[in-house]
Each structure stands twice: as structure tokens, then as C-alpha cells.
Amino acid sequence: MDAIHDAALLWTPDGWQADAGLAVADGRFGPLRRGEPTGSGGWLLPGIPNLHSHAFQRAMAGLAERQTDVRDSFWTWRETMYRIAARFDPDSLQAVAAQLYAEMLEAGYTTVCEFHYLHHASDGRPYADPAAMSQALIAAARETGIRLTLLPVLYMTGGFDGRPLSERQRRFGHDLDGFLRLVQDLRGQEDATLRVGVAFHSLRAVPPQALAAALAALPAGIPLHIHIAEQIGEVQDCLALRDARPVEWLLANAPVDARWTLVHATHLTAEETAGIARSGATVAICPTTEANLGDGLFPLRDYLDAGGAWGIGSDSHVSVSPVEELRWLEYGQRLHTRHRNIAVGAAGGSVGQTLLRGPLASATQATGQAPGALAPGLAADWIELDRQAPAFAGARPEDVVDRWLFAGNRPLVREVHVAGRRVVAEGRHRDAEAIASRYREAVQTLLAD
Ligand code: NGQ
Ligand code: ZN
């Protein structure tokens, strides 16, 4: 054992365990020691998985909040996003992703699923190394120490009607062979903190035959992510061209199971909600981005009643905080239903603990790694809350998670470890300053006319 970390409180699937110790060796937990009073220890929780990220969009957070049209919508936001996407190269992508991943670690995310479609140069031509942009993301993850599930994205068409990619979309595109070569190349680089899965950008961007062919050619068991039903407009287009709603179509035409993560399963009928839950797939909900883009509200209560798996993502990174995602997941439901305390388990109880269990329970299946538990043999990823913070004054163990998620705005994550290595101390990433100054330079260049 190379280290013992004492816990005054240790999070288990059944709630807090008092006075336990965590042994760590080779990046994994050894046997847990229980019942040894360690009043000096911290309050330890598993790291939180972030199931959905487009790293480059961190550089445009706050830059799409001016009206461009009286009917501003997701689709006008997307034009602004495409303009900024066009400016990235591998170096600027690495600089922005490193800043983002350092912020994620400081906030308590220890794994990120990167839904990556900025593959080629902005004129659409592949880089000399066709994986250059993927390598930039891998490098950013390695330098910051975050666990990465890289999801190269298959993006082929500009809409349900199969129209070709627009000029701005050309750098996202692949034919199937080129895409499979990229996936294979990246899979050769997997290590203890890197997994490679696959994403289908959306049903808009991947025709039915290509989806089937990709699924037949891809290795079994890898994580599969897709944007599914974020906007009413795409539900209507799907109905018009495929005679089914997006989730309905996917469930009927693809082998959806626990390997799948459905991102933005926002617009659902009752049958679709129950169907996803039955399939075993994970839903990735991105409350702050979905609010920012005016998407709509996920039917959380019905989905919890159906026993569905779910997690959270910070997506466009207008916020980089599991606290804000989970808090706004609950608040959206309260605003809509005019009731309180919606996300509770069958036995009622703490909203915070119910909210925390969702992303931890789906962590392994959605990320292909990073089990969301502090248990022997599992990857040693954990966060420590600042028990001295005023927000925790007088907290009983059963209050700690509710206080973390619902009391104030001061960051309460003090330390973060990934694969047994400490990457955040006193709330700051170990390389925060150097990463931030490179980020400032990169963004200045990106935004210059
Ligand atoms: C994306 N983002 O790929 O970055 C998308 C917008 C699209 C979100 N859906 C583009 N939040 O869906 O076409
Ligand atoms: Zn997305």
C-alpha cells in the first residue's frame, strides 16, 4: 500500500460510513478499514463523472448572450458556435481543454466523456496526423490528470434528409472507413486513465445505413453516445422523414442497451421514457446547457419512477460544476411542477443523496471506466469536501450532501485524487496558474479579428 487516507466520513452506496480508512496502491483502492476513529480525516466521496463535454465550447461561454435575431434559438446559437469552432487548431484546442479539465477537477469531476467532432482542419482537410485534434484532447487530459473517455464522433450529413455537410460542418465529417481507422488508432493508446468509445453526433448527422454499418464494425462493448432529442425541430423532422420520434426510432432500429448513453433525451413521450429505462441505457442530462440553449425539461420524476439510469454533463460549459447541474436539475422540476423535493427515492429522504446516486450508479456503464464507488479493487478516484467551511456548520452526516448541493456558491471541494494521485489541493489544481495563462493567450488569439 502506498498511502492510507483517513476518512471521518466515507460515502458508500448506503450513505455515510463514519471513521473509515482508504488504502491505495497502484491507482486502486485496497481494503477499506472501518470503524477506526479518525477524527482528523476528511469527508470523502467518489469523484463525479461528467458524461458530456465539447471542450472547445469553453472558450465561448458568455459570448452568445446577445440577441442576434428576435427569434434567437438553439439554431442561431449554433451559428455562433460554428464561427468559433472554425478557429481552432490542435494547440488552441489543447490550451482550452486543459483549462476546462483543470476547472472540472477543481469542481469535483474526475472523469470526462469528451464528445469530440472537431476532427479536421477548418477547410475540411484532414491534418497530417488525422488524429491530431484527438491527440490534443488526450494531451490535455494527461497534463491535468483527469480520467478521459474519448468519444470520436461520427458526423456525415447535415440533416435528416441526408443533405451534405455545410461549409462550417466540413471539419466534422468522415466516411465510415476513415472514422473506423481513427477509432482503431485511438484505441491503441488506451491506458489506465484513457478509454475510447464512439459517439454518433445525432440522427440528423448519421444516416440509418451508416449507423447499422458502424455498429456492425465497432468492437463489442465500447461506450456509445448520441445526441438524441434536444429540440422540438429535430423531433418534427424525424417524424416527417422517418415516421417516428427520435427516441422511438432509435429504440426500434438500434440495439440500445447499457452500452448506450442518450444525451439530451429532452423531448419524450411516456412510452419513450419507459422504453429508455427498460433498455438499460443511461440518459445524460445537461441542465445548465439545456437551460442556456432553451431546450426544454427532461421528465425526471417519471424516469426515476421507471428506474432509469442517468448522469450529468456540462456540455457547452456555461457552468463547470456538478453542484450547479444537480441543483438545477431539481430546480427545473420544482419550477415546472410548483412542488418541492422532486428527486427523492422510494423511501423519500434526501434530495441531495438521490441526486448524487444517479451519476455514481451509471458511472461505469456510461464511461467504460471510473466506477462511482469507494470500494476495494476499484479505481482510486475521490474528492474531499471542506468540512471546515461555514456551509457545513453543525451538519449531521445525513445533511452533508444536501448542504454541498443546496447551500450557497462557495466551492466546497478541497482535494481531488484521480487514480490515487492528488491533482487538486486546497481547492486549486496543481498547475492552475500555468494552465490559465496559456488559456488566456489562446483565447485572445482565437477571438482576435
Ligand atoms: C454540439 N450541442 O454538437 O455541440 C451540439 C450542438 C447540434 C448541443 N446539442 C450542435 N448542446 O446539435 O447540431
Ligand atoms: Zn453535445
| 315 CA closest ligand 1 atom index | 11
Please name which ligand lies nearest the alpha carbon of 153.
Answer: 1
288 and 227 in a single domain? The answer is: yes
> Which one-letter amino acid corresponds to residue 447?
L
Burial-class residue 185 by CB neighbours within 10 Å (0-12, 13-18, 19+): middle
Q: Which three cell numbers stand for residue 307?
A: 428506474
277 and 403 in a single domain? The answer is: no
**Nearest CA to 406 among 298, 331, 334?**
331
Task: Specify the pairing of strand 15-25 against strand 28-34.
Answer: antiparallel
39 and 177 in a single domain? The answer is: no
Residues with CB under 6 A from ligand 1: 54, 78, 202, 227, 230, 264, 289, 293, 315-316
Per annotation, catalytic residue among 120, 227, 264, 417: 264
Q: Which three cell numbers stand for residue 444?
A: 485572445
pLDDT 10s per residue in the chain (449 long)?
456 788 889 998 778 888 888 899 999 999 888 776 666 789 999 999 999 999 999 999 999 999 999 999 999 999 999 999 999 999 999 999 999 999 999 999 999 999 999 999 999 999 999 999 999 999 999 999 999 999 999 999 999 999 999 999 999 999 999 999 999 999 999 999 999 999 999 999 999 999 999 999 999 999 999 999 999 999 999 999 999 999 999 999 999 999 999 999 999 999 999 999 999 999 999 999 999 999 999 999 999 999 999 999 999 999 999 999 999 999 999 999 999 999 998 777 999 999 999 999 999 999 999 889 999 999 999 999 999 999 999 999 999 999 999 999 999 999 999 999 999 999 999 999 999 999 999 999 999 98
Vertex 125, ends 119 and 129: CA angle to 5°?
Answer: 60
Distance CA 50, CA 146 (A): 11
315 part of the active site: yes
* Torsion sign (Cα): 225, 140, 413, 29: positive
pTM of the model: 0.98
336 part of the active site: no
184 and 307 in a single domain? The answer is: yes
Domain-terminating residue out of 367, 395, 410? 367
Question: Is 444 inside any structural domain?
Answer: no
157 and 256 in a single domain? The answer is: yes
Q: Which domain holds residue 24?
A: 2-46+373-433
> Which one-letter amino acid corresponds to residue 212?
A
Distance CA 341, CA 352 (A): 10
Domain-terminating residue out of 367, 390, 422? 367
Question: Is 440 inside any structural domain?
Answer: no
**Nearest CA to 312 among 104, 65, 147?**
104
The residue whose CA has the least distance to atom 4 of ligand 1 is 54
103 and 144 in a single domain? The answer is: yes
300 and 166 in a single domain? The answer is: yes
| 153 CA closest ligand 1 atom index | 3
Cα separations in angstroms, 92 against 129, 136, 358, 442, 444: 16, 9, 34, 6, 10
Question: Is 442 inside any structural domain?
Answer: no
Q: What is the dihedral of CA 95, 224, 292, 110, to 10 degrees?
A: -50
Report the residue among 58, 82, 160, 227 best suited for mutation to probe ligand 1: largest number of ligand atoms under 8 A from its CB.
Answer: 227
12 and 128 in a single domain? The answer is: no
Question: Is 158 inside any structural domain?
Answer: yes
Cα separations in angstroms, 30 against 130, 375, 382: 40, 8, 14
274 and 349 in a single domain? The answer is: yes
Cα separations in angstroms, 153 against 78, 208, 396: 17, 16, 45
261 and 146 in a single domain? The answer is: yes
36 and 60 in a single domain? The answer is: no
Domain-terminating residue out of 367, 389, 419? 367
What CATH number is given to the structural domain containing 88? 3.20.20.140
Question: Is 150 inside any structural domain?
Answer: yes
What CATH number is given to the structural domain containing 421? 2.30.40.10
Question: Is 447 inside any structural domain?
Answer: no
Distance CA 365, CA 430 (A): 29
Question: Is 449 inside any structural domain?
Answer: no
Residues 6+ apart with CB under 8 A from 16: 9, 10, 397, 398, 400
Question: Is 201 inside any structural domain?
Answer: yes
| 201 CA closest ligand 1 atom index | 3
The residue whose CA has the least distance to atom 7 of ligand 1 is 78
143 and 222 in a single domain? The answer is: yes
Distance CA 155, CA 178 (A): 12
**Nearest CA to 381 among 21, 22, 1?**
22
Number of domains in the chain: 2
Report the residue among 51, 75, 78, 295 best suited for mutation to probe ligand 1: largest number of ligand atoms under 8 A from its CB.
Answer: 78
> Which one-letter amino acid corresponds to residue 252?
A
